Chains A and B, each alone.
Chain A
Amino acid sequence: MTVNFEKVSFWYPGAASAAIHEVSAEMLAGEVTLVTGPLGAGGSTTLLVAAGLAPQVTGGRREGAVSTLGVDPSTRRGRAMLRGRVGVLLPTPHTQLSGMAFSVHREVAFAPANLGWDRARIDDTVERAMQLMGVSHLADRDPTTLSGGELQRVVMAGVVAMEPELFLLDEPAMELDPQGAEALYELLPILAESATVLLASTDVDRALAIASRVIVLDRGRLVARGDPEEVFASELAAAKGATTSIAHIVREAGCAEPYPITLEAARTRFLP
């Protein structure tokens, strides 16, 4: 089990209510796990807690047991052991730039260089990551002059270049056009072949094809978890809007669960 939460709660500094409340969940190696729910459900917080950034960087208070790649990420020892093994992408790419690289190439090389990898290995991984994210042609550009879409790809390339064992991705396609988003989502199962991928997104329609497990949160509480096909077909998830658009419409039409979550399923259900 790569990441395991047992009754985990987290409070941001000064917040009266918990951002996540007694959440128990697990994310397995080789899988893409989707964390979803309405805005403010706690998906982003779940990622930060799994990385140990909450409470280490954000401040605040955590309760319950978290194990990330076998250690508690919020202890000093855990942080040291996880350094370079967990890749995090936040939805606002312009705040994700290191501020220390004056070209895209150097931005992508930032993490591997910090980790002290040797030169040949850095060149190799940076080359591969830039190609994978389709940003090789931007190599010499000043990262602060990129468009939102380009920037999000570059920042993701920087995460990929670190070759992490665990990817924590928060709305990684927010700035991308549909084609770009599609390509990024298709990449996730490939990354998951040699790592664990945790994806926080409200875009269930797109994530359905690539998620092997889903966790639905609502206002910080666990609503449902398990197999995406089952969860999204259930009233539990659909009532929170955490389902596909097809299922949402069918539910609005007043039909009973389990809801068909794909067009095919809807056709089978409604057409003789």
Chain B
Amino acid sequence: MIRYIQGNGILHRAHPFTPFTLAGAVVVLAFALPAPIGPLVLCSLMILLPVIEGVGVIVRTAGLLALPFWIFLFGIHGWLGGDPLTALKVAARLTSLIFVFLTVVVSVHPGRFVDALVARGVPFSLVYLLSATLQAVPRLGRRAETILDAQRCRGLRVRGSPLRRARALVPLALPLVLGSLAEVDERSVALEVRGAGSTARPTPLDPPPDTPYDRIARWGLAALVALALVLRIAL
């Protein structure tokens, strides 16, 4: 499960907008930097990023996510198409994106991110949508786990071949989602009566400090992106 990992790296301490700016910049750079050397260098840096940030545990997950692309791309372009350079370029770009997004997602505390949005005066509904999505994944995961436990207590066999396991889970999947939806009504009651969407401007409780370093970093990243784009068009 991909979720926040405690730590004390630069991204952890930064204002939540800064890591997301980094992720955005990497997206543009991956496509704007001259290929194949640009994406390759970027890809190497991004693979190092989680290690530097102190969340090296996600390297394995990210690698497993990226691996199929490498196999697929080299299969299509390299082996069938005789164009391994394109395969390398595209695979390096995708890998950069996978690594940077995973690192950012596990390094930014969702609560701090929500606080930052509230402090900036982002409308409640938008903040809620984001925050609810962030919490929905672990909640759904836990719910799936307990429901699975309960069904095992009723004789559901989940051990055995992967096929058998997958088949056992199918009847639980849809009801799991439906069950969660049934709770939506009660949840909206809870929000409504606690002043959610009130016309008053919500009080930011612990707005994360936006330091000069953060601003410099974000402007720096923007400048880098702009430069890469200019070079790309000029060359």
* Chain A residues within 8 Å of B, Cβ to Cβ: 48, 51, 53, 56-58, 80, 83-84, 86-88, 90, 92, 95-103, 106, 109-119, 122, 144, 158-159, 162
Q: A116 and B189 in contact (CB under 8 A), knowing A101-B111, A102-B110, A110-B194?
A: no
B193 touches A53 (CB 8 A): yes
Q: A115 and B193 in contact (CB under 8 A), knowing A90-B186, A100-B127, A100-B128?
A: no
Of A86, A114, A119, the residue contacting B196 (CB under 8 A) is A114
B195 touches A109 (CB 8 A): no
A96 touches B186 (CB 8 A): yes
26 contacts between A and B (CB under 8 A): A53-B189, A57-B189, A58-B185, A90-B186, A90-B190, A95-B190, A98-B196, A99-B131, A99-B132, A99-B135, A99-B136, A99-B191, A100-B114, A102-B109, A102-B111, A106-B111, A109-B205, A113-B203, A114-B194, A114-B197, A115-B200, A116-B203, A117-B203, A144-B135, A144-B142, A162-B195
Q: Shortest distance in angstroms between A130's beta carbon and chain B's nearest beta carbon?
A: 14
Q: Tell me the B185-235 residues at the A interface (CB within 8 Å).
A: 185-205
Q: A53 and B186 in contact (CB under 8 A), knowing A84-B198, A102-B110, A115-B198?
A: no
**Count, chain B residues at interface, CB 8 A:** 36
Asked if B75 CB lies within 8 Å of chain A CBs, one says: no
Bound CA–CA A122/B200 (angstroms): 14
Q: A114 and B198 in contact (CB under 8 A), knowing A86-B193, A92-B186?
A: yes
Q: Shortest distance in angstroms between B186's beta carbon and chain A's nearest beta carbon?
A: 4
Q: Shortest distance in angstroms between A52's beta carbon and chain B's nearest beta carbon?
A: 9
B135 touches A111 (CB 8 A): no
For A95, what are the chain B residues with a Cβ–Cβ distance below 8 Å?
A: 183, 186-187, 190
Of A102, A113, A144, the residue contacting B202 (CB under 8 A) is A113
Bound CA–CA A84/B192 (angstroms): 9
B contact patch SS: helix
For B124, what are the chain A residues with a Cβ–Cβ distance below 8 Å?
A: 114
Q: Which residue of B lies closest to A90 (CB)?
A: B186
Bound CA–CA A86/B187 (angstroms): 16
Bound CA–CA A158/B186 (angstroms): 16
Q: A114 and B202 in contact (CB under 8 A), knowing A57-B185, A99-B131?
A: yes
A87 touches B135 (CB 8 A): no
Q: Shortest distance in angstroms between B135's beta carbon and chain A's nearest beta carbon?
A: 5
* Chain B residues within 8 Å of A, Cβ to Cβ: 109-111, 114, 124, 127-128, 131-132, 135-136, 138-139, 142, 183, 185-205
Q: Which residue of B lies closest to A118 (CB)?
A: B203
Q: Shortest distance in angstroms between B192's beta carbon and chain A's nearest beta carbon?
A: 6
Of A57, A83, A92, A101, the residue contacting B195 (CB under 8 A) is A83
A103 touches B111 (CB 8 A): yes
A116 touches B128 (CB 8 A): no
For A96, what are the chain B residues with a Cβ–Cβ distance below 8 Å?
A: 186-187, 190
Of B109, B194, B204, the residue contacting A98 (CB under 8 A) is B194
For B186, what are the chain A residues with a Cβ–Cβ distance below 8 Å?
A: 90, 92, 95-96
A97 touches B202 (CB 8 A): no
A144 touches B139 (CB 8 A): yes
Q: Which residue of B lies closest to A164 (CB)?
A: B193
Of A53, A88, A102, A119, the residue contacting B203 (CB under 8 A) is A119
For A119, what are the chain B residues with a Cβ–Cβ distance below 8 Å?
A: 203, 205
Bound CA–CA A113/B128 (angstroms): 14
Q: Shortest distance in angstroms between B105's beta carbon and chain A's nearest beta carbon?
A: 15
A-B pairs, top 6 by smallest CB distance, nearest first, are: A116-B200, A102-B111, A114-B195, A111-B194, A95-B186, A88-B193
Q: A106 and B205 in contact (CB under 8 A), knowing A58-B185, A98-B196?
A: yes
Q: Which of B110, B111, B136 has the most CB of A within 10 A?
A: B111
For A112, what are the chain B residues with a Cβ–Cβ distance below 8 Å?
A: 195, 203
